[in-house]
Amino acid sequence: MIEHTLTVAGATVDARHWIGGERVASAETFTDVSPIDGCAIGEIARGTPAEAAAAVAAAKAAFPAWAATPRAERARILHAVADGVEKRLEELAIVETTDNGALLRSHRHGVMPRVAHNFRFFADWLLKLEHEDFDTRGHTNHVSWDPAGPSVLITPWNAPLMLATWKVAPALAAGNTVVLKPAEWSPLTASLLADIAAEAGLPAGVLNVVQGYGSEIGDALTSHPDVRRISFTGSVPTARRIAASAAAHLTPLSLELGGKSPLLVFADADLDLAVDLAVEQYDNAGQVCLAATRFLVEEPVAEEFTRRFVEKAGQLTQGDPRDEGTDIGPSIHPRQLEKIDGFVRRALDAGARAVVGGHRKDGHYYAPTLLTDVAQDSEIVQEEVFGPVLTLQTFTTEDEAVRLANDTRFGLAATLATGDRERAERVTARLVAGTVWVNCFFVRDLQAPFGGSRQSGVGREGGSWSFDFYCDLKNTVTAPNGWSQDHG
């Protein structure tokens, strides 16, 4: 007999889909495994195209009423969702740590508070969203943001709830209804979000959650003629399949596809700061799309930078992410661990040198790694590893630094360490990246546009850019003095 509810670290999680305001089971399940110890958490409903179609139908049925709901009421409900997140913050934190292996202290103090903030931010932004009317030869132009319709949101496993709500919150604020498909390696907090949203008063069908494998239900979601928007965070190959699937109905896409971002360290940088920024790239066991995994260090300071980095990295504690003293947890899944190890082994075989790590540890853990003696055209420099694996190269001139930084097919982010303001301005102007951090890292404001260049993605979200994507923008042009009657 299939158990529909799971007990996860003392919390109760429903393992079924959430469709049209009701829990829906599937005939088959898949096993959710904790990366902390490799033990099974439980069986999760394994969606089929039938459940995917039912979720889209529920979203379509709920759309007219939700789209017509006044902005202030939509904002009120989103704030109520944020209240629910804050009320259940500890539960969400421990469930997500169990599910994806990220640090519990980060979930408690950073990630889950940010989930609540995502809802509050877009609720508030909705209420001030406007464009000043403008005149064209006496005619009045009025710009409005019309809800687009059912939106399919496909989210990754590395920060499941936060990255899901970066999409869910603006889509709902815009007046769209949502079908959320969480990653199969970390589905649990999406199910809890459905409960929280229902308790907050979100009408049935406005948010639907369908679990399962993308290979089995992805096309049923992304090729559906009633879907009006698709937002995806994940790999380039999957994005290509989604784009091909969406092409039949020209469904607009927003794609955030990871990267191979550089950290440029110039000789005039504060080396202590640069090393702190470098070690920070091991955050979440390297499972961060924005991570600056390629260190480009000016030759005069490369030796000292490396020495300080090795010393500081050696102070990190890797282990159980539920322990307050842990700095690096596990990789999420045996397949991901095997992928990481394969990258490193091939790099070492090609002549790279591991000055830190370079090997697997017990369980789902991979040692924090820094590789030197790597060629610019090598796989380890060009391809996203998505694990705690960094490379170090040197440069001699500013032009060379920029050339190396831009010499991949990605363009998501870049980080720059320098003590020269004019150099920072020159270099950042030349970097191909959606976000550039100067003497800092991972400062992320929802007012700012977020997305990547080249194969790091298509489009931007955040602030008004999110509403531009999730809405159909309309310009209404009204002639002067054309009224047969005026109701005053």
Q: Which residues are identified as catalytic?
A: 256, 289
Question: For 303-327, b where at least 16 C-beta lie within 10 A, e where not — what string?
Answer: eebbebbeeebeeeebbbbbeeebb
Main-chain dihedrals φ then ψ at residue 159, nearest 5 degrees: -145, 70
Using alpha carbons, select from 362, 366, 340 the residue that is nearest to residue 37: 362
Q: What is the DSSP letter of 212?
A: S
- The contacts of residue 434 (CB under 8 Å, 6+ apart) are 411, 412, 413, 449, 450, 451, 452, 453, 456, 457, 460
Q: In the structure encoding, which two tokens stand for residue 215, read together? A: 């290979």
Q: What is the DSSP letter of 454?
A: G
Instruction: Answer for the pair 143, 468: CB distance below 8 angstroms, yes or no.
Output: no
Q: In the structure encoding, which two tokens stand for residue 117, read together? A: 């903030």
The half-sphere exposure of 386 on its side-chain side, counting CA atoms within 13 A, is: 19
Dihedral of the CA atoms 124, 127, 132, 133 (nearest 10)?
Answer: 160
Instruction: Answer for the pair 405, 263: CB distance below 8 angstroms, yes or no.
Output: no
Main-chain dihedrals φ then ψ at residue 115, nearest 5 degrees: -60, -50
Q: What is the DSSP string of 269-337?
A: S-HHHHHHHHHGGGGGGG--TT---EEEEEHHHHHHHHHHHHHHHTT--BS-TTSTT-SB---S-HHHH
* 3-state secondary structure (DSSP) of residue 52: helix
Beta-strand relationship, 413-417 and 435-438: parallel
